[in-house]
Structures are given as structure tokens and as C-alpha cells.
Structure 1
Amino acid sequence: MLNAISDKLSKWINRYLPDAFVIAVLMTLLVFILGYISTPKNPLDLIRSYGDGFWVYLAFTMQMVLLLMTGMVLASVPFIRKGLEALSARANTANKAYLLTFLISAAAYYINWGLAVVVGAIVAREVGKRNKQAHFPLLVACAYAPTALYTAGLSSSIGLTVATKGHFLEDIMGIIPTSETIFHSGTIVIFLVLLITMPLFILLMAPKQNIIPYSPPAREKSNQEKSSEIEESTPAIYLEKTKVLGILIGLIGIIFVIVKFLNEKDLNLDIINMFFLSLGLLFHGSLWNYGEAFKEAAKSISPIILQFPFYAGIIAVLGSSGLAENIIQAMVSISNKETFAVFTYWTAGLVNMLAPSGGGQWALQGPLQIPAGLDLGVNPAIVAMSVGWGDAWTNLIQPFWALPILSIVGLHIRHIMGYCFLLCIWVGVVTTILLYFVY
């Protein structure tokens, strides 16, 4: 029955769901309308806040672009590519393909969500190339699905924020150690239950007919198609093709990353980008090889560059219009001490649909949710994790975070959204029940 539902839903979504850029623009207009209705004010004020916030995430956009490009370039190193091919070859049945992709991606999401974006996409692509029995859209959904788990991982944005001295809510809630958030027994229980049940749910959705195998995007070029012209040996060509420069600058970057990590014990986007960049330079050897691989990777990044600023503008309007505050207060008003975590989770899931950023969402939701929870006697650590789980939950149906993976594999959001939508329902039901009992 679930297989039939997923098949019909996927067909319906393929017909009616527009491009992710269209969705971003429609959501922008929706937030403008709801913001004006929620707290009537001069429309020009909303437009000003939108424009002021449009470029707030410019640095983050560049971080994501570099994360994807350096990761893709690293994966194109011959011996790494062969390793991925060997690992992917183990998935010799469709079910093994789905399970392997999900579990590898889940492990990467637990370590660091930025790392997982690249790892999951590359594994899905490599498994799809070698297993024509696997339905490739579902395979990509398997790579993306563990985004619902990241808040329990080592890069949990909210969990790490509230554990940091000087965070913006320290005066209200104090510093919350990770033992009370990401390493809390309740968090671990939710993580493990989802880790076990989500892949089983995926297997039940797997189509038995009309399988769509992996098809290389038009932009991909085989190594055989690349030019092999013999160039004149000159000092300039020598500098471009010598391995000495690439290895030296790569080693400098790796040493920096090791020292930085040993001192700060943190895996942020800057560290991961430096690590990927330096490893790529080291393993590709010549600067020419790295530059060519980087140029090829750049062809799939345009959707991220285009759409991220629009979501920054949406977040700005949510805050300035008071719409986010009204949504949160409405949920708080109907909750009590026992149900507060659940209502916080639902609220976070709703807000995340409009403001898909863990840090941005916490800035909107934390100052309202924490005082309300304290008034009811709810542990602020539980409130923080409930917001985190809600943020991760609706990532499954928010095109914003699917863009990086889709860019790498060459699919459209409509190809995976049917499966992600059903997974979102499952994750929401399971997490709602567990939140009520384990925190």
C-alpha cells in the first residue's frame, strides 16, 4: 500500500511541483502577504527589511558553494573515485543500494551536516551508476533523508550554540552543556529510533516497476572526452603542471586544519572547506589538474548562488513583520508543561518552512520560546532541542537544503519530493510521540 501511495504521490508532484526557484519566489510573496495581514504596517517597511536582509547570508552562500565544489573536486581524485566505486559496488541489489546510501549519509550527517551534503550526493551518484535496479530518485532521497537527524549530531547548530559561552540567550537560560542537549538520553533515543525506522520505511516505498536508473547529467564529461592535446613544454606550462606547488600548498592547509581542530575541537564550515580544498590540492598534485576539476564542478552550483539570498530576505521579513512571533505565541498559548516540547517542535517545523536556517530560526524562535518555557517550568535544554528537532524535521520538504545534493546529481526537486513528503510524515509522527515521553 505504501509503495502504491508513494508512486501516485510522486507522479502528482512531478506534474504540479514547480522549480525550487519558483517555490522560493512564491514563498517570498506569501511571507509578504502574511506579514502584512499579521501585523498591518507600511508595505515599504517590509520591502526595506527584505532588501536589508537579502545579502545577510552572502558569506554563508559562499561557504556552501565552496563546500560543494571542493567536495566534488576531492571526489574526482582518481584513487578516491575508485574507492567510492568499490564501496558502491557492494550495493548489488536495489534494497542494498537504498540502505547503503542512507546509512553512509546518516553517518556523515552525524559527524557534520556540511560534510554530509557532499558525501551523500556522491555516494548516491556512484551507487546509481553501478546499480541499474535502484530507482535513482529514491536513491537521492535516501542520501537527503538523514537531514532529519542532524540536530542530534556533532554539528547541531542549536545544541552547539547554547553550549557556547557568550551566546545571545546566556542571560536568560545560561550555558547548556552538550550532555543536556545532543548527548541527552532522550536525544539519543529519538536518533536511534529514526535511524532504524526511516530506512525500513524507505524500503516499503521502493517502486517495483517503472524504475528510473541513473542517467548522467548533460554537463558530465568522461575522461575520454577531455582534450589530450600535446602542449609545448615551457616554463609556464611546467609551473602549471608540476606537482610540487599543489602538494606544498595542500600540506600547509592541512597542517593549519589539524592545529586549528586540536585547539578548538570544532568542525565548522570554514574548517571543512579548508580541509577539502587542501586535500584536493594535495591529491590532484598539479594546480592545472585542480583548476580543471574545479571548473567542471562549478557547472552545477548556480541554483545555490541564485536562491540563497531570497531565503535571507524571507527570514528578515519574518522577523520585522512580527509574523514569526505571532506563530510562536499562538502555539505557546495552547500548550502546558507536559505538551510544551511537542508544540515547540511543531512550531519549529512550521517556521522552518519559511526560514530554513538553524541559526536564523533560533534567533527568531529562541528569545520567545525560552522565556515561555521557563514560565511553565520546562528545562531550557529541552526547549532548545525541541526547536532543533523541528528545524531538522521539515528540512525534508524544504527545497532550500535539497539544492546542494540535487545540484550534484542533476535531479529536480520534484523527482524526490514525493518520497521526502511521506518520510516527513513518518518522522513527524515518531518524533512527536517520543518527545512527549523521553524529555
Structure 2
Amino acid sequence: MASEVSGEGSVLERLGAALAVRVERWMPSPFLFAILLTYIVFVVGIAGTGTGPADMVWHWYDGFWTFLEFAMQMVLILMTGFVIAYHPRVNDLLTRLTRVPSNGKQAVVLVGVFAMIVGWIHWGLGLILGAVLAREMGKTAHENGVALHYPLACVAAYMGLGLTWHWGLAGSAPLLLATPNNDFIEAGVLEETVPLTETVIHPYGLALTVLSIAFASIVLYLLSPSPERSRGIEEYVSEDELAEAVADGGASEATVEREGDADAVTEPEATVPAERINDSRVLGGLIALTGVAVVAYSLAFAGLEVLNINFVNFAMLFAGLLVYQRPQYYRERFGEAATAAAGIILLFPFFAGIQGMMTGSGLATEIAEALLAVSSPETFPVAAWVAAAVVNLFVPSGGGEWIVLGPSVLEAAQAQGISVGQATMAYAVGDAHTNLLNPFWALPLLAITEIRAREMFGYAIAMLLALIPFLAVVLYLVPY
């Protein structure tokens, strides 16, 4: 590690290296991170709101299971993305993509751009595909003798969750507003749903996304260490495992045979009627086509306004089944995806408990209202971004956080003449931005890349810091 903090390289490169050393030494595991945040919010809630210790404990308990429905929706987004990402043909395309860059800096940027674009389309798919691409990029660099800094490649793979996802088609806040009879309508904050054409698909949201991807790509390039200071995948993944992956040709449990340029998945021969039924492409394909037809019909006749969390999950679920076709094979892939989602399933109740304390004590609302109170119509987007970023440090749940903070943000926006769409998108980037400090959503990526949170989050924090002045400027200057 000493070589990483030498005085050579750009300012950003030295910053990233210095943070990487310190974070690798001090950062706890994601589960302990959640436990420590629980204690912090408990103390701050008592000191900041005057709530008694016993009341804070009951707020924690009451909040523990608040987001069961939302947690299931988020797990489905993650698992459907995981299953599609690990289809042999998709995995093969990613492997081919790793042969495009000629050096480590280009490889890191390619992983980052890919993760941010796919994350905008579907955050679960972007997270898993980005992680798989980072791992495969590390393998290819190792095989070809290219100096790739693997921890930074893993951070690049996390950039969809750290920047673009909440501006995208699977963003919790815009999707919740687009859902009929949502919490904001029932609470009287809004009179009607807000379609994605006023948030995600609006020129404002698209401009923020494009500008941010361009800026983040430049930062990733400048953060990349020189070849002599790069630490390859072999320092994090055993040589035996890398050699086995090369010998397998990257194939998973399905056998992939080459037939010219096409890939064919070899299926085990069914020996009894039950197995033939389980693997029936007719049964799986028919229901998959039915689901896809429902999606296509809804989009054709209702347009983008039909998009919400449940619709996106429905579409991804049946798109995956259409790709795999065989019901039993698809179910087995979901079993593998459950491993990637295990950490989120464990941690989600703890973060729901933290949010219970922040909500029950009024701490979250006080933070948001204090920041929004000092804003003007010109600075409101910046204030909404900062409010979301601060609360997201403690509760990394975009939708759950939006349910709590959304009424304050939207009421303040309407009072200052700010459109609901602009306020929502400004909030959304704050929620995404500080994911670069909290390892909660990185759990599936850590499992796939076999890197520990403390080994990559120094560079994630460097990226977070580099984004602060950029986001402040674009949110202030870009018109709605």
C-alpha cells in the first residue's frame, strides 16, 4: 500500500490512493456499518429532537418491518437483473467487451460508462452487469498483462448506484410518483400522478444524466493509478480460481458450445416425464410471451406513464423467463440470485429501524426542512440534493426515504414555484450520490467481485468528493 500514496501522479490520483489506504484500514463491514449507524441515529435523535431513549427504542422497533413490501420490490429488481446478467449469452457479450480497451485507464472508464448507462435503464441489472463486467475485465487484464487497478474498476461498476440510477427508469422516487393512488396522493400532497415524462424522460433529467456520465468518466480516468501502482485482480481473487475460470472459458453451470459465432446452451437430457415438464420450453415460453405481450400492450396504449415499480418488476421477470424459457432452469438461477440478495435482506430491516427512529423522532423532517428553509427558487435544487444526501447517509433506501422526505420536499417546492418534476430529480441525485459512502447496495457487487468493502470504498469516497462541486453547479445552472 505504501507505493499507492507516493507523491507521483495527478492530484485526484494521489487523493484516491490516500483515501484507499485509510479506508482499507478503518472501514467496518457493511453489517457492522448498519449497527454503528443505528447507535449514531439513536444518540442524535435524542440530542436533536428531545425524544427519550425508551421512545427511540420503540421507534426503532416500530420501523423494523415498515418496508417489507418495498424491500420485496427492491429484492425482485435486484434478482431479476442478476438472473439476466448471468445468462451465458449475456456473460459472453460482457467477456467480448473486455477486449475493447487497450490499457487500465480505458478499462476503468468503460466499466463505469457501461454501469451508469445500464443502471439508468434498470439499477439491479446495472449493478449486477457492472460487477460481472468488472470481474471479467480484471480477468482479461490479468491474462493479457494489462495493468488494471481492480478496486477502482469495482468502484466504476458501482457508479450506476452511485450516480445515475435514481434518474433512471427504475428510480424509486419518480416511479412512486407515477404509481396510481400513491402515498403522496393519499396524503393530499399531490392531486394526481406525475408521469416519467416530467421526471426521468424530461429534457432536464436527461441533461443531468448525460452531463454526469461525462464528468464521472473523466474523474475515473484521472483517478486510475499508473501501471506500477495498480493492483490487479490476482491480489483479490486466488490464482487457482482465475486459472479455473480461464480453463472453463467463463462458462457457468450451463455448458456453452461454440457453433461459428453463435452460442448454444447444452441442456441435460430429461429422463422422466416430470423432468421433461420442468424443462418444457413450451410451458415456459408460452407464459413468458403472455407476460411480454402484457408489457408491450400496456406500453403501446398507455405509453411511459404506465411505468412504476411493479410494472418494471413484472417486465423484468417475464423478460428473464423469455430468455431462459425452461422453468426449472430459470428457478435455479433465481436460487443463485438469492445469494447476492442475502445481505440486502438482512440489512434492510436494520435500515428500516434506523428510518423508524428518524421518522418517529422527527429527525429526518427537521433535517430536510432546515435545509429547504434557507433555499430560494434558484438554490432549491441544490438544497433538495443536499437534504437527500444527508439523510441517505443513514437510510440508503431511495423509496423508503422518499416516502418520509418527499412531502417536505414537494410542499417546499410548490411553495416556491418549483415544479414537482425538478424537485424530484434534484432529490434523486442526492439519494444516489451518497451511496458512494454507504456499502449497503454494494453487497451483491462485493459477492461477485470478491473484493471487500474497505478495499474499494476509498476510491468511492474520492469519487463522491469529486462529484460535489460538479453536482452543485449543474443543479444550480441547468434549467428545467
Provide the TM-score with structure 2 as the length reference. Answer: 0.80
Contact 1:112 1:267 in 2 (8 A): no
Structure 2 counterpart of 1:347, from 383, 387, 393: 387
Question: 2:428 corresponds to which residue?
Answer: 388
Once the two structures are superposed, residues 210-254 of structure 1 have per-residue CA deviations (whole angstroms, 9 ceiling, x without a partner) of: 4222655899986699799x9994444444455444444444443
Contact 1:92 1:131 in 2 (8 A): no
Structure 1 counterpart of 2:215, from 174, 193, 197: 197
Contact 2:138 2:232 in 1 (8 A): no
Once the two structures are superposed, residues 339-378 of structure 1 have per-residue CA deviations (whole angstroms, 9 ceiling, x without a partner) of: 3332222122101112222222222223223333444454
2:448 equivalent to 1:434: no
How far apart are the structure 2 equivalents of 1:172 and 1:272?
25
Aligned pair in 2 of structure 1 residues 384, 210: CA closer, same or farther (>3 Å)?
closer
Q: State the shift of 1:183 in Å.
A: 4.6
Contact 2:178 2:307 in 1 (8 A): no
Aligned pair in 2 of structure 1 residues 363, 298: CA closer, same or farther (>3 Å)?
closer
Q: Which moved more, 1:421-430 or 1:39-48?
A: 39-48
2:307 equivalent to 1:258: no
2:64 equivalent to 1:54: yes
Once the two structures are superposed, residues 22-51 of structure 1 have per-residue CA deviations (whole angstroms, 9 ceiling, x without a partner) of: 001111111111112222234333222222
Q: 3-state DSSP class of the match of 1:354? A: coil
| Structure 2 portions without partners, runs of 5+ | 1-10, 256-267
Question: 2:164 corresponds to which residue?
Answer: 149
Question: 2:3 corresponds to which residue?
Answer: none
After superposition, residues 163-242 of structure 1 pair within 5 angstroms as 166-169=181-184, 171-172=188-189, 174-175=191-192, 176=194, 178=196, 180-208=198-226, 209-213=229-233, 216=237, 233-241=271-279
Contact 1:393 1:424 in 2 (8 A): yes
Question: 1:136 corresponds to which residue?
Answer: 150
2:99 equivalent to 1:89: yes
Q: 3-state DSSP class of the match of 1:3? A: helix
How far apart are the structure 1 equivalents of 2:78 and 2:420?
35
Question: 1:32 corresponds to which residue?
Answer: 42
After superposition, residues 35-114 of structure 1 pair within 5 angstroms as 35-114=45-124
How far apart are the structure 2 equivalents of 1:76 and 1:328?
40
Structure 2 counterpart of 1:313, from 346, 353, 359: 353
Once the two structures are superposed, residues 181-217 of structure 1 have per-residue CA deviations (whole angstroms, 9 ceiling, x without a partner) of: 4455544443232111111111111122242226558
Q: Which moved more, 1:11-20 or 1:133-142?
A: 133-142
Q: State the shift of 1:149 in Å.
A: 2.1
Aligned pair in 2 of structure 1 residues 51, 259: CA closer, same or farther (>3 Å)?
farther
Q: Which moved more, 1:256-265 or 1:23-32?
A: 256-265
Aligned pair in 2 of structure 1 residues 279, 385: CA closer, same or farther (>3 Å)?
closer
- C-alpha RMSD of the superposition: 3.3
Amino acid at match of 2:223: M
Contact 1:91 1:131 in 2 (8 A): no
Aligned pair in 2 of structure 1 residues 380, 352: CA closer, same or farther (>3 Å)?
same
Q: State the shift of 1:7 in Å.
A: 1.1
Question: 2:28 corresponds to which residue?
Answer: 18
Q: State the shift of 1:397 in Å.
A: 1.6
How far apart are the structure 1 equivalents of 2:312 and 2:419?
33
Once the two structures are superposed, residues 62-98 of structure 1 have per-residue CA deviations (whole angstroms, 9 ceiling, x without a partner) of: 3344444443333343333322222232234222322
Q: 3-state DSSP class of the match of 2:378? A: coil
Amino acid at match of 1:90: V
How far apart are the structure 2 equivalents of 1:177 and 1:250?
27
| Structure 1 portions without partners, runs of 5+ | none
Structure 1 counterpart of 2:344, from 294, 304, 312: 304
Q: Which moved more, 1:103-112 or 1:180-189?
A: 180-189
Aligned pair in 2 of structure 1 residues 121, 414: CA closer, same or farther (>3 Å)?
same
* Matched length: 438
Q: State the shift of 1:20 in Å.
A: 0.5
Q: State the shift of 1:280 in Å.
A: 4.4
Q: Which moved more, 1:23-32 or 1:239-248?
A: 239-248
Q: Which moved more, 1:42-51 or 1:269-278?
A: 269-278
Q: 3-state DSSP class of the match of 2:233? A: coil
Percentage identity across paired residues of the two chains: 32
2:145 equivalent to 1:125: no
Question: 1:400 corresponds to which residue?
Answer: 440
